[in-house]
Amino acid sequence: MRRTGRHLRGGRRRAPPGVAGREHDRPGGRGSSAAARPTPGEDAASDPAAPTRTPAPSATTAPASPYASPSAPRSSAAPSQPTASGTPSAPASSPGATAPAPAPHVLRHTASGGRTVALTFDDGPGPATGQVLDLLAQYHAKATFCEIGDNARTRPAAVQRILAEGHRLCDHTVDHPQPMHTQSHEQQVAEIRDAKADIEAAAGNGAQISWWRAPGGDFTAENERIGADLGMKSLGWSVDPRDWSRPGVQAIVSTVQHDLRPGGVVLMHDGGGDRSQTVAALKQLLPWMVAQGYTFDFPQS
């Protein structure tokens, strides 16, 4: 069942404790809006114990943002229904409706270029996050975790472990509203701004968040500007194996091996449902990437 949000810091409704945000709709292309699948059941497993964390670098001071103050309440909206997944397509609109202006600056490449790959994981932290981190450590791989604000708030130890092991964080909104561009401007501000605050609070030690990622890749010029005003760039992807849909381990592996090019950004998921296929695919993909001469990088920032 799709959650529509919580009010906090001026009236935003919080979901009941322990209810994790999840991805209802996954893009099938290069970072635009997406498509319908039944919402998967959430694994009830608990977080792995977090190792002792070394302090993360302090964030640099960002320019004042028009959205920095969370005093404005988020208005409520009727829940939108999940849509099907496949090649991203714009949601149905009334005759004469104007499509939102596309986001012109979505990042889909590694910072260093060359034979590098940026691994990104959405919708966590979740029960599978610890397994993903264990595998990344085994292959000395670094990744970027695009976190749901609600999940970060309820699983702070996992967020702290991500940072302690040298990975980076990305804002993936409070509770994954979709399609995002149909929300009011104020609602979109609250989703991005409050998720950033939730993730920073869970991480502690002045963790810096350089990117945000729209649910389903539903980036527009409007929400890109909101993210930029909060000090974050829009992070898309170039490889999408649709692991959220659980197409089978070999389907995930084959898609990544076929579509990956030097400098690519791979989209996968560590939260939002049963991620056992993602973990199993990662066990094959990490040694394959190393054998192919790839090194692990972060996205452009």
Q: Is 269 known to be catalytic?
A: yes
Termini Cα distance of the chain? 34
Taking a C-beta distance cutoff of 8 angstroms, is the pair 125, 147 a contact? yes
Point out which residues pair with 120 in neighbouring strands: 144, 267
**Tokens linked to 55:** 């302090």
Q: Which residues contact 44 (CB under 8 A, 6 or more apart)?
A: 127
The CA-based angle 16-21-23, given to 5 degrees, is 150
Residue 244: CA count within 13 A, CB half-sphere = 30
291: amino acid identity, one letter: A
Quote the CA–CA distance of 181 and 90 in Å, as a whole number: 10
Catalytic, 122? Answer yes
Residues 61/66/72/77 CA torsion (nearest 10 deg): -110
Question: From the candidates 24, 25, 109, 122, which is the catalytic residue?
Answer: 122
Q: How far apart are CA 195 and CA 177, in angstroms?
A: 12
268, 241 contact by CB (below 8 A)? yes
How many angstroms separate the CA atoms of 185 and 170, rounded? 21
DSSP label of 103: P
φ, ψ dihedrals at 176, nearest 5°: 60, 60
Residues with active-site annotation: 122, 269
